[in-house]
């Protein structure tokens, strides 16, 4: 068997809301092309489905109305969690227990609505059950098993504190990503590992980061091109790639969707909190242009609520 790990993020660019990083772990039967095996399983799982169950979250979320985009994310993420043997989460606290640290570190009132979010929001338990049954059969046919889905959310206060310690935005993303990947690799150390990551902004060199987070004495650079940076970690029996368009691989696609789903839920709670305090305030996705509009409109309410600027606004 080969351990395949995929990672991706959501919310790298916004000024409002969390940066969210996710990773998925799979066991795939011995094959020269485990990514192709998983893609074939996906094609066989739900014949006639108009959209892939697991795909680049940015593409899925653009498909039709916002509610439809959320439904597609939710179907993929919750199906994935159930495939690992976990029960369908009924609310945010259960989702956090399954995925890991997806809530803010410390308290800030603008995130108080998170714990009251119920799930699923845009699909149904029946739909998830049907998808789980179809995927179990298709994955088994390709000797593939989804073993784990984990997530980490970094909210503005923690993000800004990391900047103050001298890290930049790319450092914060790479650190969170490789911590998740290394932890998953450590759970199943017996099999050779392939770790697939989407490229982190414009960064092309990752050797030093890999050596630190995987605690290995040697990282061999295989390639560092505009399209892909690849490394061998002999002591960890692992190959790690950072590729443009990595979401084409199923493990990365599900990680992408998980990160996006968690961020969308967080922004749903965020917007609900502030809309109660500012009549007529339009919700925001947190990206720079609209985030500035939002800050102008909600600034006085934020000051009245005692929410510090550093807990509200990501500086980079």
pLDDT of residue 210: 97
What is the C-alpha end-to-end distance of the chain, expressed in Å? 41
Distance CA 303, CA 306 (A): 5
**Spatial CA neighbour of 12 closest among 310, 287, 302, 217:** 287
Give the CATH number of domain 2-269: 3.30.420.10
Q: Which DSSP letter does residue 87 get? A: P
Count of residues for the chain?
316
Q: Does the structure show a pLDDT above 60 at 103?
A: yes
User: Are the C-beta atoms of residues 225 and 200 closer than 8 Å to each other?
Assistant: no
Mean pLDDT, all residues of the chain: 91
Is the model's pTM score more than 0.85?
A: yes
Q: Which residues contact 64 (CB under 8 A, 6 or more apart)?
A: none
- The per-residue pLDDT for range 118-153, each reduced to its tens digit, is 999 999 999 999 999 988 988 888 888 999 999 999
pLDDT-based confidence at residue 62 (cuts at 50, 70, 90): low
Highest averaged pLDDT of the listed ranges 103-117, 128-142, 180-194:
180-194
Confidence of residue 32 (pLDDT cuts 50, 70, 90): low
Q: Name the percent of the chain lying above pLDDT 90.
A: 74
Does residue 197 or residue 35 have the better pLDDT?
197
CA dist 309 and 145 (Å) reads 44
Query: pLDDT band at residue 268, thresholds of 50, 70 and 90?
Result: very high
């Amino acid at each position: 068997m080969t351990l395949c790990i995929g990672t991706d993020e959501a919310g790298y660019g916004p000024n409002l809301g969390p940066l969210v990083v996710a990773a998925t772990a799979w066991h795939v039967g011995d094959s020269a092309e485990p990514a192709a095996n998983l893609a074939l399983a996906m094609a066989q799982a739900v014949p006639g489905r108009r959209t892939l169950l697991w795909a680049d979250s940015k593409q899925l979320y653009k498909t039709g109305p916002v509610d439809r985009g959320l439904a597609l994310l939710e179907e993929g993420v919750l199906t994935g969690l159930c495939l690992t043997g976990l029960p369908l989460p009924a609310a945010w606290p259960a989702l956090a227990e399954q995925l890991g640290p997806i809530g803010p570190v410390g308290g800030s009132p603008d995130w108080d609505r998170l714990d009251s979010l119920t799930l699923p929001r845009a699909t149904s338990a029946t739909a998830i059950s049907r998808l789980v049954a179809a995927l179990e059969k298709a994955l088994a046919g390709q000797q593939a098993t989804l073993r784990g889905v984990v997530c980490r959310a970094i909210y503005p206060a923690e993000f800004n504190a990391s900047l103050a310690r001298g890290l930049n935005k790319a450092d914060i993303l790479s650190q969170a990503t490789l911590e998740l990947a290394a932890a998953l690799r450590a759970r199943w150390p017996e099999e050779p590992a392939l770790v697939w990551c989407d490229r982190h902004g414009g960064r092309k060199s990752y050797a030093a980061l890999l050596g630190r987070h995987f605690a290995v004495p040697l990282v061999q650079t295989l390639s560092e091109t505009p399209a892909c940076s690849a490394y061998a970690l002999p002591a960890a029996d692992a190959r790690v790639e950072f590729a443009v368009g990595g979401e084409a691989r199923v493990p990365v696609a599900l990680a992408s969707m998980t990160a996006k789903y968690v961020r969308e839920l967080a922004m749903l709670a965020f917007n609900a909190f502030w809309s109660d305090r500012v009549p007529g305030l339009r919700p925001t996705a947190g990206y720079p242009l609209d985030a500035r509009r939002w800050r102008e409109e909600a600034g006085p309410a934020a000051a009245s609520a005692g929410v510090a600027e550093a807990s509200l606004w990501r500086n980079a």
